Amino acid sequence: MQHDDVVWGIINKSFCSHKVSTATQKFCRHEYNLTGLCGRYTCPLANSQYATVREENGIVYLYMKTAERAMFPSKMWEKVKLSRNFEKAIHQINESLLFWNKYIISKCKQRFVKITQYLIRMRKLKLRRQKLLVPLQRKIERREKRREVKALVAAKLDSAIEKQLLERLKKGTYEDIYNFPQNVFNKALESETVEDEDDDEEQHEEEELSESEKEMEIEPEVEKELQLDTEYVEAEDDDDEEMDTDADSESGKREAADVDSDFESSDNSDIELM
């Protein structure tokens, strides 16, 4: 037989592994506790008739314990699945706990309401767009930055050494002939040719600009000279032109015009037909 008062006296006055005491209140960490508080009517160990509501993977269950199953710890709690519909679930709780203590019935309903509310909030949050938090690997980033800085320094040193060697070769500090790698030699030649081409282009552009400026300077002078050389001539009358043409003709006689043989023959043939 299970004596609830004896169990509660031992738990309340002595040690309990599920009890957490604070300055103001005592809490219970037992998984089947109905309210989370340590008390005579809320302790699942000190009550042979006890009920609670739990949620597992989004499904709500009603757990009930009776004194008849106290000798079988594995079968002590009866498990009843509650409906997703709120009204049907409340009706199931009322039917299952028909002749039970009203305090336990009201607390089970309150717990069921709280569980349904946080399940609804969880579903809404899953449907929304959520930000994906990506961890930043600080050590790898620092390592890569250090390597980049070292690579830049090495590249600058190599370019500076190449420039100094080329300058020394041009000045003739190395009198004897040395064997250099072919790739480096080709690069040096290409850089020199490119520089020469750029210089030639710049000189050509400067010459074109100077010529265009000279032309612009000469043009106004030429215009002035042309304006001075131009003479305005009055147009003669038409009567004078006719007189000149008459004077050129010979003593007012008609001049014979040369006519082709074909033309003469065609005229004669026409006359004969008439």
pLDDT greater at residue 124 or residue 212: 124
Of 69, 67, 75, 63, whose CA–CA distance to 104 is shortest? 63
Domains detected in the chain:
3-127 (3.30.390.110), 156-194 (no CATH)
pLDDT recorded at residue 232 = 46
pLDDT digits (tens, 9 = 90+) for 169-208: 777 676 665 666 667 667 766 776 766 666 667 777 777 7
pLDDT digits (tens, 9 = 90+) for 139-162: 999 999 999 999 988 888 888 887
pLDDT recorded at residue 87 = 92
Distances (CA, A) of 104 to 25, 50, 97, 108, 181: 21, 8, 9, 6, 94
Q: Does the structure show a pLDDT above 90 at 117?
A: yes
pLDDT recorded at residue 88 = 93
Phi, psi of 205 (to 5 degrees): -65, -40
pLDDT recorded at residue 168 = 76
pLDDT greater at residue 235 or residue 26: 26
Res. 233 pLDDT band, cuts 50 70 90: very low
Indicate the residue type of 67.
A
Q: Does the structure show a pLDDT above 80 at 255?
A: no
Q: Does the structure show a pLDDT above 80 at 119?
A: yes
Res. 82 pLDDT band, cuts 50 70 90: very high
What burial class does residue 51 get, using C-beta atoms within 10 Å of its C-beta: 0-12 exposed, 13-18 middle, 19+ buried? buried
pLDDT recorded at residue 139 = 92
Res. 110 pLDDT band, cuts 50 70 90: very high
What's the mean per-residue pLDDT of the chain?
77
- The pTM (predicted TM-score) of the whole model is 0.48
What burial class does residue 19 get, using C-beta atoms within 10 Å of its C-beta: 0-12 exposed, 13-18 middle, 19+ buried? middle
